[in-house]
Structure 1
Amino acid sequence: MPRLLHYSDVENVYDDPARVGRLAGALRSLAGDDALVCGSGDNTAPGVLSLIERGRQALDLFRAVDADVETFGNHDFDYGPEATRSLVAAAPQTWVSANVYESDGERFAADDVVPHTIETIDGVRIGFVGVTDPATPSLNPMAGELQFSDPYEAAGTAVAELRAAGVDRVVALSHLGGGDDDLARRVDVDVILGGHVHAERREWVDETLLLRPGANGRVVFEVALEESGSIDVERHETADAPVADDVVSALQGRVDAAGLDEVVAHVDQPIDRSEPAVFGGEARIGNFVADAYRWSLETDVGLQNSGGIRDGPPLSGDVTVADLVSVIPFEEHVVRAELTGAELWEVFRESAAAVVDFGEPEWWHGHVSGAELRWDDDATELLAARVGGEPIDPEATYTIATSAYLLHTDHEFPTLEERHRAGEGDIQFEVLAAYAREFGIDAAVDGRIERVSGGRTAPAGADE
C-alpha cells in the first residue's frame, strides 16, 4: 500500500534548526519502502538562513529525508532563476513542473525538471504532475524573466499523458493555493497535495482529495492509497516528533557562520508576529516596520504590506540583526514614492482584502506610519484617513516609504506603480536594524487603524 508523506511551505523555519530537526524526524519516523516524501513548494525560501545561503540550506533537509518529488512555489525563485537551477541540480528529489518556462519558451531547467513523472510503489504506478501559481512573476520580482502558462491546461495535458501511460493513480503537486478547487474540477486527478495558502485544508472536491498541511513544517499529512481504491489521511504534528540531530547540527553550523548575531535592541514585552496578529489590523510589529521606513526616507507616510512580515517567534529580549532579517527576509529596497492625495486614499482602501480580493476575506493588508485610518468592515468603506493629523487633500502631493515590491506587484496595493517611484533607500532589514539601533524597539498599538463593524470598533492587534 503506497503512502505519500506531504509537507509544504517550510519557508523561514530553517532559522530555527531544532524545528527543522523535528520536521526531518517526523518524516524519517514515517518513512519506509512504501512511502514517498512529497513537497509542494516554498520549501527553500524565504528566511534569514535562506537569504544567506540562497536557498541551499534546504538541501540539508532534502538529503536527510531522502525527498522524492517536489514542485515550485513562488518563493523558490527568491534569488533568481539561476540560483533555483543550481539548487534543483543539487537536490536529491525529482522536480516536477508542467507550467514554468524559461524566457525563450523552453521548459525551465529542462535538464533537471520534468512536467510529470511516474513512481512505482508496491506495484502501484503513481503519476505526479506539478503546477505553480501563474501570478508568480507579479508576486516575486525575481521570477520576472520566467513564463508561467495556464496551470489547468498544463496539468490537463500532463495528466492525459500519465493516464495514457497506464498509471494507477494521479497526484498533483500544487502551489496554486485557492486555485486548487478549480484544479480538482477541471483536471482528472485523485489527490492534490497543495501549498501556497498557509491555512490547513483537508476536504473532497468533485471526488478529488485536497490537502494543505499549512506552513512552517508544523504538520505532515500521511496519505495512504488503499488497494480498494479508498484514500486515507492521517495528520502528524511535528512538535511531537523525534529530533534529527544531524539536520540540527548542519543547519546550526550555517546559522553560526552567518555572522548576524549583533544585538541592536532589547524588547521587554514580546512583539507578536503571528499571522492572526499581522493580518488582523493594527499590530505592534507592523507599526515598528512602517515607522522605520518613514524615518529612513523622511516621508509623510510609511507603508508595509502584511504579507511581507513573516510568521515566526515573537521579538523578545535581546533582538539581533538576524531576528530583524527574519521579520522581512527579502533583498528589496525601501523606496520613496510620490502620489496625489486621491491616489493615497485608494492605497489606504486597498489595505482591506475585501477591496483587492487577495488572501482571506477578512485580512488587513496594510500597516502605516504617519497616518490614521478608520475602516468599516460591514460597508467595506474607508470612512476617514488623516496624514500628519490632517484630512487627506485629494489635490496635494504626498510621499510614502514602502517596499519596492509594492511598486511591482498588481496583487497588493495596485494603485501603487513604478511610475510613482521617486527615490530609493537601503534594504528593508537594514532599515529596521538602523532604526532599532537609533530608537530601540518600543512599538505600541496607538489607534492608527480603527476597524469598525456594525457601529462598533473591532479589537485592535492581538498583541496590544
Structure 2
Amino acid sequence: MADPLTVIGYSDLEGIYDEPDSIARLGSFLLARRDDDTLLVGAGDNTALGVASTVSHNKPGVELPTRPGRAIAAPFYRAVEPDVETFGNHDLDHGPADARDLVREFPTGWTCGNLHTDDGLFGADAGVRPTRTFETGVGRVGVFGVTTTQLPAITPNASSLRVTNPVDAARTAAADLRERVDYVIGVSHCGRDDPAVAAAADADLVVGGHLHERCAGIHDGTLLVRTGGSGVVEATTGGKYAFHDSIRTAPDRSLLDTYTRVREALELDTVVAHVDEPVVRDRETLTTGESRLVNFVADAYRAATDADVGVMHASSLRTGPPLAGDVSAGDVIAVSPFGNRLTTLSVSGTALRKALAVACPAAENDRWLLSVSGASVVWDDTTGAFERIRIDGDPLDAEDEYTVAVQEYFVVTETMPTLTEGAVQSYHGLQYDHLVAHAANGGLGIGIEDRIVRPKQ
C-alpha cells in the first residue's frame, strides 16, 4: 500500500491579514511543513477580507507594500505558494474582473469546476481549471474544487455568474481523476453542502469551507475536515487529522513587516474611543438576542441618517475579541468590515414587519440576527411571530410609512426581500465610517435596553 499523502488545509482566513503577528506565524508554520509528501490547499475566502482590504479598496492613493483590496493577501501567497485554491464567495466581492486579476497574480493553482460565465468555466482564460494534478513523493495527486451555490445571491458584484450543482461536479471530477492519479483530494467551499460533496465524490479527503464551524468526519468513506476559519488542519489520506489553532511558531519577519506597514499606512491603529466595560463579540452573544454590540451598530445607522429605525442583520457582524480599553478605528471597522453604503429607505409598516421577521429564529435557523434602534420588539419563540413591535414607543402601524437605515447589502440582495432598491431615499457614504464616528461620539457606552424581548424562549 502506498504511503499516505499529507494535506494541510485552511479556509476563510478572511480578516487574518489585519493581524500582522497572526498572518506571519501562519506563514512560518506552513513553510516549515512543506515537503514532497505534503500538499497545501485552500478551500476559499482566503484572499483578504477585513479592515485593511476594505479600507484600502475605498481609499485610493495610499502607498502600500502591495496592491489594495483583496490583493493585500498577495505577500502571503507569494511567501507560502499554496498548491491549490478554490473560490469562496468573498473572493468575488469586487467582481469577476478583480477575481481574474487575483488568479493571474497569486502563485497558486486555482481550481473550481462549477463556477461559470455565459462563455464557460469562470476564469479559464486566466488559468482556472476544473481539476489540478501534482507529482508528490508518495504518488500522483488529483485535486478538484467546487464552490457554494449561494455565491451569486450573496455576492452582488458576481450575480452574473452561474453556479452548477457542486455535488454533481465533485462526483464527475473525482471519477475522472480516479482513472489517472493515486490520490483524489477535494476543496469545497460549500458549507452545509460539504458533507454531501464528500459523500458523492470518490475522494480520499475533502477540505471544506464557507461555514465557520469546525468539523471532521467520514462521509460514505471520504474524510471531510473543515477548520471553520480558525487555524489550519493537517490530515492524511490514511484518515488521521489534527487541527492547529494556536500557532506558536516564530513569525516570518518579512510577512510581519509587510502587514505592519499596511496597518500603519491605513492608520488603523488610531484610537477613537475608550471602553471601560468590554463589549463582547462572541457568536453566542451576537446571535441569541439583544447585545451591546448590535445595539451600537443599529444606533450608529440611525444617528447618521435621522431615520425612524436603524436595522442591523447580525449576519454581517464579525466575531472577535471584545472591544475594551483603547479602541482603534480598525477595531471598530472590524465589527462590520464591508464597503457597503449606508442607505435610507421609506417602507410601509407591513414591509418593515416582514423585513424584521427575516432576522428572527425560524425552523431552518434558530439564530437571532435582528438588532434595532428607535424600536422595540417582543418575539414569541413558540409561535415564531411578533407579539408586539413599537416604533419610538408607538405600536407599528401597517399602513404608515417609516424611514429605515440599513447597510446597502441588505437592499441589493434577497436577504430581507421587502427592503428593495425602489424604496431607497438616499445614500450616506460607507457604513463603517459611521460606525467609527459613532464610537468617537461615545456610542460604545451603550447597554441592554430591552429592545429585543423573547419571554417564552
Matched residue, 2:60? none
Shift of 1:7: 1.0
Q: Which runs of 5+ in 2 are unaligned?
A: 57-67
- Report Cα offsets for 1:185-221 as digits up to 9, x if no partner: 3333332200111110011122221111012xx3321
Given residue 407 of structure 1, which amino acid in structure 2 is its aligned partner? Answer: V
Contact 1:54–1:83 (Cα < 8 Å) also in 2: no
Q: Matched residue pairs, number?
A: 442
> How well do the aligned residues superpose, as a CA RMSD in angstroms?
1.9
Matched residue, 2:259? 251
CA pair 3-106 structure 1, distance change in 2 beyond 3 A: closer
Distance 1:353 1:63 in 2: 43
Q: How does 1:72-151 map to 2 (within 5 A)?
A: 72-151=87-166
Contact 1:334–1:403 (Cα < 8 Å) also in 2: yes
| 122-131 or 373-382: bigger deviation | 373-382
Distance 2:111 2:255 in 1: 25
Given residue 92 of structure 1, which amino acid in structure 2 is its aligned partner? Answer: P
Query: Do residues 299 (structure 1) and 303 (structure 2) align?
Result: no
Distance 1:30 1:353 in 2: 43
Task: Say which of 40, 44, 48 aligns to 1:41.
Answer: 44
| 85-94 or 373-382: bigger deviation | 373-382
Matched residue, 2:236? 224
CA pair 350-112 structure 1, distance change in 2 beyond 3 A: same
Distance 1:71 1:364 in 2: 31
Query: Do residues 419 (structure 1) and 422 (structure 2) align?
Result: yes
Contact 1:71–1:132 (Cα < 8 Å) also in 2: yes
Matched residue, 2:406? 402
Distance 1:344 1:42 in 2: 32
Given residue 194 of structure 1, which amino acid in structure 2 is its aligned partner? Answer: G
Query: Do residues 195 (structure 1) and 209 (structure 2) align?
Result: yes
Distance 2:16 2:150 in 1: 24
Given residue 110 of structure 1, which amino acid in structure 2 is its aligned partner? Answer: D
Given residue 129 of structure 2, which amino acid in structure 1 is its aligned partner? Answer: V
Query: Do residues 6 (structure 1) and 9 (structure 2) align?
Result: yes
Distance 1:291 1:312 in 2: 20
Task: Say which of 241, 249, 262 aligns to 1:241.
Answer: 249
| 416-425 or 250-259: bigger deviation | 416-425
Q: TM-score, normalised by structure 2?
A: 0.91
Distance 1:339 1:436 in 2: 28
| 325-334 or 311-320: bigger deviation | 311-320
Residue 445 of structure 2 aligns to a residue whose secondary structure is: coil
Matched residue, 2:324? 316
Residue 114 of structure 1 aligns to a residue whose secondary structure is: coil
| 26-35 or 190-199: bigger deviation | 26-35
Matched residue, 2:380? 376
Distance 1:159 1:408 in 2: 36
| 71-80 or 117-126: bigger deviation | 117-126
Shift of 1:168: 2.1
Shift of 1:9: 0.6
Q: How does 1:382-461 map to 2 (within 5 A)?
A: 382-410=386-414, 412-453=415-456
Shift of 1:364: 1.3
| % same residue | 36
CA pair 186-418 structure 1, distance change in 2 beyond 3 A: farther
Task: Say which of 18, 43, 62 aligns to 1:15.
Answer: 18
| 155-164 or 380-389: bigger deviation | 155-164
Distance 1:84 1:174 in 2: 18
Query: Do residues 336 (structure 1) and 344 (structure 2) align?
Result: yes
Distance 2:133 2:361 in 1: 40
Matched residue, 1:209? 223
CA pair 405-254 structure 1, distance change in 2 beyond 3 A: same
Contact 2:296–2:443 (Cα < 8 Å) also in 1: no
Given residue 189 of structure 1, which amino acid in structure 2 is its aligned partner? Answer: A
Distance 1:221 1:205 in 2: 18
Distance 1:296 1:70 in 2: 40
Matched residue, 2:272? 264
Distance 1:106 1:26 in 2: 34
Distance 2:257 2:168 in 1: 43
Q: TM-score, normalised by structure 1?
A: 0.90
Residue 452 of structure 1 aligns to a residue whose secondary structure is: coil
CA pair 245-142 structure 1, distance change in 2 beyond 3 A: same
Distance 1:263 1:312 in 2: 18
Shift of 1:301: 0.8
Shift of 1:109: 4.6
Contact 2:110–2:127 (Cα < 8 Å) also in 1: yes
Contact 1:26–1:238 (Cα < 8 Å) also in 2: no
Shift of 1:311: 2.0
Contact 1:371–1:385 (Cα < 8 Å) also in 2: yes
Matched residue, 1:350? 358
Distance 1:285 1:242 in 2: 34
Distance 2:377 2:28 in 1: 46
Q: How does 1:160-175 map to 2 (within 5 A)?
A: 160-164=175-179, 166-175=180-189
Distance 1:97 1:385 in 2: 45
Residue 278 of structure 1 aligns to a residue whose secondary structure is: helix
